[in-house]
């Protein structure tokens, strides 16, 4: 497996930003990935899969696949083979980036 602690070069990062817009760098268990935020359609598909008992096991993996922009697919697959729980960790971060939170400010009027 290629070392995912390596970072894309500045030129690669600029290309990725040009192709995908704003990116977010995530690091967990010493591994680095870059993601884009989920679109409404991607989030809607995630919610449908997460609500379907038969599709629930692949919901997080599909969300990550739709939002992961670096590393490349083959390297990411090797990374997830080595750290299978990382899919859920990244998926959780993607949900936070989509606005899923338990922290909501409430004010009675």
Q: How confident is the model at residue 102 (pLDDT cuts 50, 70, 90)?
A: confident
User: pTM of the prediction?
Assistant: 0.87
How would you list the strands of the sheet with 24-28, edge to edge? 24-28, 31-35, 68-70
Q: Do 33 and 65 contact (CB within 8 A), yes or no?
A: no
Question: Burial of 17 by CB count in 10 Å (0-12 exposed, 13-18 middle, 19+ buried)?
Answer: middle
pLDDT in tens, 21-57: 999 999 999 999 999 999 999 999 999 999 999 999 8
The separation between CA 28 and the C-alpha centre of its own chain, rounded to angstroms, equals 12
10 pLDDT higher than 70? yes
Q: How confident is the model at residue 5 (pLDDT cuts 50, 70, 90)?
A: low
User: What does the pLDDT read at residue 101?
Assistant: 87
What's the mean per-residue pLDDT of the chain?
93
- CATH code of domain 10-97: 3.30.2220.10
For the chain, the structural domain boundaries read: 10-97
6 pLDDT higher than 90? no
Q: What is the mean pLDDT of residues 76-102?
A: 95
Residue 69 backbone phi and psi in degrees, to 5: -115, -20
Q: Do 80 and 86 contact (CB within 8 A), yes or no?
A: yes
């Amino acid at each position: 497996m290629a070392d995912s602690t390596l970072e894309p070069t500045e030129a690669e990062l600029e290309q990725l930003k040009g192709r995908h817009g704003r990116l977010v760098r995530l690091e967990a268990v010493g591994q680095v990935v870059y993601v884009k935020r989920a679109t409404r359609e991607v989030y809607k598909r995630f919610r449908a899969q997460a609500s379907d008992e038969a599709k629930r096991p692949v919901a997080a993996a599909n969300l990550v696949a739709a939002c992961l922009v670096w590393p490349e697919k083959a390297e990411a697959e090797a990374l997830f083979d080595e750290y299978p729980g990382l899919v859920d960790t990244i998926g959780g971060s993607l949900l936070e980036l989509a606005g899923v939170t338990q922290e909501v400010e409430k004010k009675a009027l």
